[in-house]
């Protein structure tokens, strides 16, 4: 080989090494979600929103010149399936795991991710939690490689209570009815804690079996006997619908403050019963202004429906991940998850409702919350009915935030 060619080769190689572009490894994001079985409805919504987020990342250029790849895994409905698919995802080279539909799966994933990262330093993976709202994930089980981009029970109840109070819908006598598992118990504690903040008295509280009760009439009888103004509940899906229907059937005029009333299908099934009830959620298309309408139109064009329920917060979470990715430079051609985690701690983005950031102490995102009421004059109708969610009050991220839990002792890799 001539010296000219050899020197060109050497210079070329040196350049490649210098710029770290030798082997550019694309970032792989793995969605480990409930995509089939009884609870698939919510999981599929998460998938739509995550796909939207990843498409936007790639429309903006991906990472390090390569498009971001999204791999989807079906956790078959439970923590065991999730643990298996996590191992498969890691074997496929996934570095960022996204999940949201169940707190049980979230608990399993965060523990598995923590143990894997402990055993494999230098090859860490990150867990992006876009929907599991159990308190323990940013409390007892908080860890450096877990980030929660949705609210939690305390955040939801605080916003709901203040929003309803402001609309003079809260009253002074409140009944708390929740499902008897971690989420419902977290909701109950939060409702009791915020009694002085909301200026109400919790007359009685009930915990019932999850998704096993067809006939809520006995519980409604208890609520009627308690003679309250408002019923606060974190129930979702059937438990919420049946509770509301039973209350209406009994002719009670109590106001409902809920967290998951905007789940698709609820307004359609509940009908007029839902009018006047309240929900606290992360986004309301009507409250976002021009920016919000642009987001809604873009989402509808890509997916076929406007972003509802858990989709907006997931899209915002993915936008934060995208923003953090921009600040991370490749190390040896690949993504350093630890660097990404550090970047996520200081990322801030602008959502249509206000600024969203991440709290470093417990990796709970600080995001704006909206309290809305079901009304006929809402701009965006739900479920092919003539009703929709009309925003009542928007809380900025700092107003909606609740303090770090005392039992979060995060170990940082520094």
Partner 1 sequence: MDTLIVSLLNGVIYGLLLFMVSAGLTLVFGMMGVLNFAHASFYMLGAYFAYALQGTLGFWGAVVVSPLLVGLIGVIVERFVLRRVHRYGHGHELLLTFGLSIIIAELVKLCFGNFPVNYRVPASLDFAAFAVGNSDYPFYRVLMGAVAIAMFVLIFLLLTRTRVGIVVRSAIYKPRMAEALGHNVPAVFMGVFGVGAALAGLAGAVAGAFYTTNPNMAIDLGVVVFVVVVVGGLGSLSGAMLASLLIGVVTSLAVGVDASLADLLGLIGARAWAERIGGLFTLKLSSLAATIPFALMLVVLLVRPGGLLGEKA
Partner 2 sequence: MRGRGGLGALGTVGVALLLALPWILSQGLLNASIQMLIAALFACAYNLLAGQAGMLSFGHAAYFGVGAFATVHAMNAFGGSGLLPTPLMPLAGALAGLIFGAIAGWFATQRTGAYFAMITLAIAELLHALAPHFKGLFGGEGGVSSTRMPSMGVTFGSTTQMYYLVLAWVLASLLALYLYTLTPLGRLTLGLRENSHRLRFLGYDVHKLSVLVFSISAMFSGIAGSLQVINNEAANYIVFDAGQSTAVVLNTYIGGARVFLGPAFGAALMTFFGYAVSDLTQSWLLYQGILFALVMMFAPSGLAGLFGMPDRLRRRFGTAAVVPFFALALASIVLLTAGTVFLVELLQRILSQDYRALAAGAPPWPPISLFGRQWSPAAAVTWLLPAAGVACGAATMLLARHKLALLEGRQEDTAAEPRAIEGERTPA
| Residue 275 binding partner 1, by CB under 8 A | no
- Site map (CB under 8 A) of partner 2, residues 167-196, x = contact: -------------xxxx-------------
Closest approach, Cβ 35 to partner 1, in A, equals: 10
Residue-by-residue DSSP string for 258-316:
ESSTTSTTHHHHHGGGGTT-EEEES--GGGSHHHHHHHHHHHHHHHSS---TTHHHHHH
- Site map (CB under 8 A) of partner 1, residues 175-214, x = contact: -----x-------------------------xxxx-xxxx
Stretch that binds partner 2, among 104-112, 170-178, 237-245, 403-411 (CB under 8 A): 104-112
Stretch that binds partner 2, among 3-11, 49-57, 302-310, 351-359 (CB under 8 A): 302-310
Residue with tokens 């309803």: 164
Long-range contacts of range 41-46, CB-CB < 8 Å, 24 or more positions apart? 41/264, 41/265, 42/100, 42/101, 42/131, 42/263, 42/309, 42/310, 43/101, 45/264, 45/308, 45/309, 45/310, 45/311, 46/98, 46/99, 46/100, 46/101, 46/130, 46/131, 46/310, 46/311, 46/314
Q: Are strands 278-281 and 369-375 parallel, antiparallel or unpaired?
A: antiparallel
**CA 60/CA 66 separation, integer angstroms:** 11
| Residue 254 binding partner 2, by CB under 8 A | no
> Is the CB of 5 or the CB of 253 nearer to partner 1?
253
Return the one option of partner 1, partner 2, none that residue 183 interacts with (CB less than 5 to 8 A, by type).
partner 2
- Site map (CB under 8 A) of partner 1, residues 355-394, x = contact: ----------------------------xxx---------
Stretch that binds partner 1, among 115-123, 150-158, 233-241, 371-379 (CB under 8 A): 233-241
| Residue 405 binding partner 2, by CB under 8 A | no
Backbone φ/ψ region at 8: left (φ over 0), alpha (ψ -120 to 50), beta: alpha
Using a 10 angstrom Cβ sphere, with 0-12 exposed, 13-18 middle and 19 or more buried, the burial of residue 344 is buried
- Cβ-based neighbours of 168, under 8 Å, separated by 6 or more: none
Return the one option of partner 1, partner 2, none that residue 12 interacts with (CB less than 5 to 8 A, by type).
none
Full strand arrangement of the beta sheet holding 28-33: 69-74, 28-33, 96-99, 126-129, 146-148, 364-366, 354-359, 348-351
Using a 10 angstrom Cβ sphere, with 0-12 exposed, 13-18 middle and 19 or more buried, the burial of residue 190 is buried
Distances in Å between the Cα of 212 and the Cα atoms of 175, 177, 189, 205, 263 are 21, 15, 22, 19, 19
Q: Which of 8, 11, 87, 348 binds partner 2 (CB under 8 A)?
A: 87
- Site map (CB under 8 A) of partner 2, residues 135-154, x = contact: -x----x-------------
| Residue 362 binding partner 2, by CB under 8 A | no
Stretch that binds partner 1, among 58-66, 70-78, 121-129, 244-252 (CB under 8 A): 244-252
> Is the CB of 108 or the CB of 230 nearer to partner 2?
108
> Is the CB of 40 or the CB of 404 nearer to partner 1?
40
**Residues that contact partner 2, how many (by CB under 8 A):** 42
- Site map (CB under 8 A) of partner 1, residues 42-71, x = contact: --x---------------------------
Return the one option of partner 1, partner 2, none that residue 414 interacts with (CB less than 5 to 8 A, by type).
none
Residue-by-residue DSSP string for 72-98:
EEE-TTSHHHHHHHHHHHHHTT--EEE
> Is the CB of 207 or the CB of 375 nearer to partner 1?
207
Question: What residue ranges bind partner 2 (CB under 8 A)?
Answer: 35-37, 40, 44, 48, 72-74, 76, 78-80, 83-85, 87-88, 90-92, 103-104, 107-108, 111-112, 115, 119, 134, 136, 141, 180-183, 209-210, 212, 303-305
């Amino acid at each position: 080989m001539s010296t000219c060619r050899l020197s060109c080769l050497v210079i070329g190689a040196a350049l490649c090494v210098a710029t770290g572009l030798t082997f550019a490894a694309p970032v792989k994001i793995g969605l480990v979600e409930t995509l089939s079985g009884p609870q698939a409805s919510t999981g599929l919504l998460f998938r739509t929103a995550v796909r939207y987020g990843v498409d936007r990342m790639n429309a903006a250029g991906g990472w390090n010149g390569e498009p971001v790849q999204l791999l989807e895994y079906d956790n078959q409905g439970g923590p065991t399936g999730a643990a298996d698919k996590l191992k498969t995802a890691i074997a496929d080279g996934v570095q960022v795991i996204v999940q949201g539909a169940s707190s049980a799966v979230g608990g399993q994933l965060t523990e598995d991710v923590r143990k894997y990262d402990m055993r494999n330093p230098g090859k860490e993976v990150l867990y992006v939690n876009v929907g599991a709202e159990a308190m323990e994930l940013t409390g007892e089980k908080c860890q450096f490689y877990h980030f929660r981009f949705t609210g939690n029970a305390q955040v939801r109840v605080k916003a709901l209570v203040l929003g309803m109070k402001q609309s003079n819908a809260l009253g002074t006598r409140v009944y708390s009815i929740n499902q008897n598992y971690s989420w419902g118990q977290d909701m109950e504690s939060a409702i009791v804690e915020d009694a002085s903040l909301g200026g109400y008295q919790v007359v009685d509280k009930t915990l019932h079996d999850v998704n096993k009760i067809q006939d809520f009439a006995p519980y409604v009888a208890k609520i009627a006997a308690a003679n309250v103004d408002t019923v606060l509940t974190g129930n979702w899906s059937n438990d919420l619908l049946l509770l509301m229907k039973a209350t209406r059937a009994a002719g009670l005029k109590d106001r409902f403050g809920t967290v998951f009333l905007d789940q698709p299908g609820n307004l359609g099934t509940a009908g007029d019963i839902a009018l006047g009830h309240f929900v606290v959620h992360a986004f309301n298309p009507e409250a976002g202004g021009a920016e919000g309408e642009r987001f809604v139109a873009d989402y509808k064009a890509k997916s076929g429906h406007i972003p509802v329920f858990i989709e907006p917060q997931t899209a915002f979470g993915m936008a934060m991940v995208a923003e953090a990715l921009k600040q991370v430079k490749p190390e040896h051609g690949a993504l350093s998850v630890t660097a990404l985690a550090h970047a996520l701690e200081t990322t801030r983005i602008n959502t249509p409702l206000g600024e969203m950031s991440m709290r470093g102490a417990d990796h709970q995102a600080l995001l704006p919350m909206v309290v809305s009421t079901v009304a006929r004059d809402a701009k965006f109708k739900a479920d092919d009915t003539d009703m929709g969610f009309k925003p009542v009050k928007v809380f900025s991220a700092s107003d909606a935030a609740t303090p770090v839990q005392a039992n979060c002792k995060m170990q940082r890799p520094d």
